[in-house]
Amino acid sequence: MKLGEQTRNKLKSEDQRDETSSPQDLIDQGITAIEKQVKSELISRVKEMDPYEFEVVILKLLRKMGYGEMVTTKKSGDGGIDGVMNEDTLGLERIYIQAKRYTENKVQETDIRNFIGAMSGDTSKGVFVTTSAFSAKAVDKADSAHHRIILIDGNKLADLMYEFEVGIQVKDVYPVKELDDDFFSA
């Protein structure tokens, strides 16, 4: 069976890349590929979670990011607030959390408006997290609000979960060694 022209060209290009890439470049490329795959799997898995469990994951993530104590709200009738977190360990200011586990739907302007309404009077800061994305009008509404609202979409959520090791674990660590020029210059 002969290789197709496209396959031959791809193999040729990979061979050339291997010849011009340093071993460190190849390691970096491999790590980038693994990171991309893990982030994709993370967001897929989170989209399959029970919505209440998703809210708990978000609060755990924010806690690992250094925020203070957290309180989850009731499963239903929570007034549009899924959790409340202290900005720091002293609890100087509260941050309201809204978490929407959507598989395809985008968060709309009305969702942001409802979140702002739920925040009124108690706090001026909020974090709205979704596994999907925000519509342009939702982003505009959050940006124009008198409250400070941070929007975290599915891609940013995967990045943060990866960075703060929420829902993942380190599988292997490979030491990369290099010659110690100081040792030989003495």
Higher-scoring residue by pLDDT: 184, 90? 184
For the chain, the maximum distance between any two Cα atoms, rounded to a whole number of angstroms, is: 72
Nearest to 67 by CA among 8, 119, 126, 143: 126
Nearest to 112 by CA among 132, 127, 95, 94: 127
Higher-scoring residue by pLDDT: 111, 80? 111
Average pLDDT rounded to a whole number, residues 88-112: 89
Does residue 171 form part of some domain? no
* CATH code of the domain containing 156: 3.40.1350.10
Does residue 71 form part of some domain? yes
Single-letter code of the amino acid located at 114? N
Average pLDDT rounded to a whole number, residues 41-65: 92
* Model confidence at 75: pLDDT above 80: no
The residue range of the domain holding 71 is 45-163
pLDDT tens, 38-50? 999 999 999 999 9
Domain count, the chain: 1
Backbone angles phi, psi at 119, to 5 degrees: -80, -25
Which pLDDT value is given to residue 32? 95
Which pLDDT value is given to residue 86? 84
- From the number of C-beta atoms within 10 Å of its C-beta (0-12, 13-18, 19+), residue 12 rates as exposed
* Model confidence at 149: pLDDT above 50: yes
In whole angstroms, what is the distance from residue 181 CA to residue 65 CA? 38
In whole angstroms, what is the distance from residue 139 CA to residue 158 CA? 19
177 Cβ partners below 8 Å, 6+ apart? none
**What residues form DSSP beta bridges with 94?**
86
The distance from CA 72 to its chain's CA centroid, rounded to whole angstroms, is 20
The three-state (H, E, C) secondary structure of 90-128, written as one string: CCCCEEEEEEECCCCCCECHHHHHHHHHHHCCCCCEEEE
Which pLDDT value is given to residue 1? 44
Does residue 14 form part of some domain? no
Which pLDDT value is given to residue 66? 87
Does residue 102 form part of some domain? yes
